[in-house]
Structures are given as structure tokens and as C-alpha cells.
Amino acid sequence: MNFPFWNVAIIGSGWVIGLIAIFHVIISHFAVGGGLLMPILERQALKRGDDEWRVLLRRNMKFFLIITGVLGTVSGVGIWFSIGLAQPQGTSALIHIFVFFWAIEWVFFLIELASAAVYYYSWGRISDKLHLAVGWCYCIASIATLFFINGILSFMLTPGAEWIRAAWMDQAPGAVVSGFFNPTYWPSLFIRILAAIALASVFLLFSFSRTTPYISNRLKSIALRNVVLYFIPALLLLPIGLLWYLHMTPESQQALLKIPQTGILKVGLWAIIGAGLTSATAFILVFINPIQFGRKQAWIILLLSASVVAASEYSREILRKPYIIVGYMYSNGIREADVKKFNKEGFLDNSLWVRKNDYGVGEAMFRGQCMSCHTWNGYRSMEKLLKGKTIENLQTVLNMLYDYEPESLMTHYMPPLVGTTAERRALAAWLIQKANLCLENEEKNSEQKNE
């Protein structure tokens, strides 16, 4: 299949995926955590015989159904659309490796959607016992979706030595189970379940904060304090999960924490600090005066929680550099096993998604190997990186990426440059020509302004 190349100006295709993914992670984890908390809270209401509490839960379920059923589904489709364009090789690899796991996950997702709808529309129309059973059915289906998607996501960081060996011997299908239950599978699942409970609690706080005209002060106090009792422990346990996760991460990827260029340490620290700050904020606002807890306070907690999720997801993505699948495929879609072949036969003659006839050798090399991470004048701007550089400087850098010596700092976060000597020279010449042209235009614009 001849994949197209997706060029997104300013932010790059990676951030398109990132922005959609962060939104989807928040919604999907809310769905999983809500699937667990809603039947628990309903069971508590039934034990107390508190009908007012059950009415509040039913009203909240409508909000829950709309958020998860509509926004969750749409953002999920958005992720598939964006990764298919931005990382076609990586997407294709994950589909082929885990085709049956994807199928099972989608089956559980359909069960999740159906049971959520039944749970809401059958409220008060079937027996309490049966209705609660439907709620637990939704809970099991939502956790099952997380169980299967977690194996695929954690695989990208730690596919495991057994799967890597099988992949190099073209026997990867036989090692798919070991790849699925990879070294970071369980710590990742632990973190995601905690995040799901925390995010569901945040959305419940937000939902309950806007119901003041419809419920008594007594019930509002009970509802908010009840939810916070799940929210705070979940957030405070996240750092433990993170330490476990890092412990299971390969040393090669842990080394990225010490490299300032990645920014991963700063972002990761904010995720930990933000979790503690959000917990303290929720505790203070809810327990001091739950009656006055309104939308403004709920928005503060929601935005803080969203920033923690964004920082965590960014850190998880950067921790894989320079790979899409560690030890197997680089971030520009080149398989590690193909590097020698591309260096000998040429990158463009073997590429499925860029052709030199469409552009020119230099530009085609740039599009095929650089633009998965860099833009020209936006995020990770090549224009800024090339400012003041000569073609000799640039060729030195490109040679370092071609040689790809382990002691080179760039090899920790940048994939190797592959291709023949002629292709690499064409890339250097095109980059310098493009940079000089941009500089000339900048100088002309400056002169016109001065006139």
C-alpha cells in the first residue's frame, strides 16, 4: 500500500495525535472509572434506602452517557484517523501484531456502550437487583476494554526481549502473548485504573456541583464527600504506580530522564506535583464547605486533573524515543531491521510513502525521515535549528545520525538517518538551500519595514 504523507503546518502531525489522544484518554478513563463508581454508589443508596440519592445518580447517568457515548466515541475515531495518517507504518504494525486483541477490545466496547444505555433507560423500570446487575455488566465491559488496550499501549514501550527476538526471526506472531503481557503491562494497568477512578470522581464532582437547585444541602454534602473519598486515595497512589512503571522500563529509555532536550523530567515531576496539588485542592474545597462547592471550584479541579493527564501522556510518549515500538520501529516508521538494507539500496527506493519523483531527493528525504517529529517553522522548527549553520556543520550532524554511535547523545532521542551517501548529501543541500531562502525572505521583509 502506498501511504500518503501528512504535513501539518506549525504544530506537526504528532501534536494532532497528542491533542486528540489527551482528550480521549480523559473521556475513556472517565468511562472506566465511572463504570466502577456508579454501581458502587447505587449500591450504597439502596442499602441506605435513600431515594433522593438514587434520583441524583440517575440524573448524573444521563450526563455520563452523553460524555462517554458521544465524545468518547468521536475522539476514538479521531485517534484512528490521525495515527493512520501521521504514523501509517506504526499503525499498520500494531494492527497486524494484535489483530485478535483489537477485535476482542471492540467487542467489549460495543457491550460497554449497550449496557450503559440499558443502565440509564431501565432506571426505575426494572427491579433494583437487576438494574444493579446491568451496572456491574457495564463495569466489567469497561474494565475489559482497558485491559486489552493497555497491553497494546504498554507494548510500544516494552515489547519484551522474547517478542523482539521473535520479530527479528520473523516469528513474532508466535510471541504475541508475551508481547501483550510485557514488562510494563501490570504497572501501566495499575496506573490507568487509579487514573480512571480519579477522573470519574472529578467528573462526578463537576456533575454534582451543578445540581444545587435540585437537591438538598444534606444530599449535596453526602454526595461530594463520598466522591472525594475515592478521588484522593487514587491520586495519592499514582506516584507509587509511576515508580513501579519506571522500575520496569529499560535502562536505555530511563536514560532519557537525564537528557534536558527531552523535557521529560520536568513534565513528569509536574504530573506528580500536580496529582498532590489536585488532591489537596479537592480535600480543602469539599470538606471545608461542601455546600458552597460550585462550578468554579469544580473547574479548578477538572483543569488541574487534565494537566496531570496531559503531562503523564506526554511523558509516556517521550519515554519511547527514538522509537514508536522500542527495539523494533523508529519514530519515523523505519524498522530497525531495515536500516542496513536502506543504507545499501537507498531509502527512497524502498519507501512506501515518499517518492523522489514527487519532490526531489533532498525534500523527499526530509519528508520521509524528519517530518514525523519536526516542522519547518513551527514545533521543533528546522528553520531555527539551521540558523547560522553551514553545509559542513549540517553534514557533520547528519553523519553522526548515520553512524549512530551509542555514545552520541542524539541517538537517545533521534532515529538514525538512513540512505545512500548521495541521498544524505541531497538532504543536506536541500536543507541549507531552504534555510538560506527563508533567511533571504526574512531580510527582504525587514528592509521593507525599515523603508
Angle, to 10 degrees, between the axis of helix 128-157 and the axis of helix 99-121?
150
What pLDDT does residue 212 have? Answer: 56
Residue-wise DSSP of 148-194: HHHHHHHHHH---HHHHHHHHTT-GGGGHHHHHT-TTHHHHHHHHHH
**77 DSSP β-pair partners:** none
C-alpha to C-alpha distance for 51 and 39, rounded to whole angstroms: 15
Q: How far is CA 268 from CA 68, 140, 235, 249, 300, in A?
A: 27, 31, 15, 15, 20
Q: pLDDT tens digit string along 369-405?
A: 998 889 888 888 898 888 888 888 888 899 999 999 9
What pLDDT does residue 1 have? Answer: 31
Domain boundaries, the chain: 12-330, 337-450
What pLDDT does residue 450 have? Answer: 61
Residue 53 neighbours by CB under 8 Å, 6+ apart: 41, 44, 45, 219, 222, 223
Residue-wise DSSP of 357-378: TTS-HHHHHHHHHTTTT-BSSS
What pLDDT does residue 449 have? Answer: 63
* Closest by Cα among 31, 27, 22, 60 to 141: 31
Phi, psi for residue 323 in degrees, rounded to 5 = -110, 160
State whether residue 8 is helix, strand or coil.
coil
What pLDDT does residue 61 have? Answer: 85
* Closest by Cα among 254, 32, 260 to 146: 32
- Residue stretches of the chain with pLDDT short of 70: 1-5, 210-214, 353-358, 439-451
Q: pLDDT tens digit string along 195-217?
A: 999 888 888 888 888 655 667 78
What pLDDT does residue 262 have? Answer: 74
* Closest by Cα among 423, 424, 430 to 386: 430
CATH of region 337-450, choose from 1.10.760, 1.10.3470, 3.30.160, 2.30.110: 1.10.760
What pLDDT does residue 117 have? Answer: 92
Grid cell digits, residue 291: 455546600
The dihedral formed by the CA atoms of 191, 244, 325 and 426, expressed in degrees to the nearest 10:
110
Question: Tell me, what amino acid is at 408?
Answer: S
- Which CATH code for domain 12-330? 1.20.1630
What pLDDT does residue 214 have? Answer: 62
CB atoms within 10 A of CB 53: 21
| Cis geometry, peptide bond prior to residue 322 (ω within 30 degrees of 0) | yes
Q: How far is CA 89 from CA 43, 95, 329, 361, in A?
A: 47, 10, 9, 21
Q: What is the pTM of this model?
A: 0.89
State whether residue 329 is helix, strand or coil.
strand
65 touches 116 (CB < 8 A)? yes
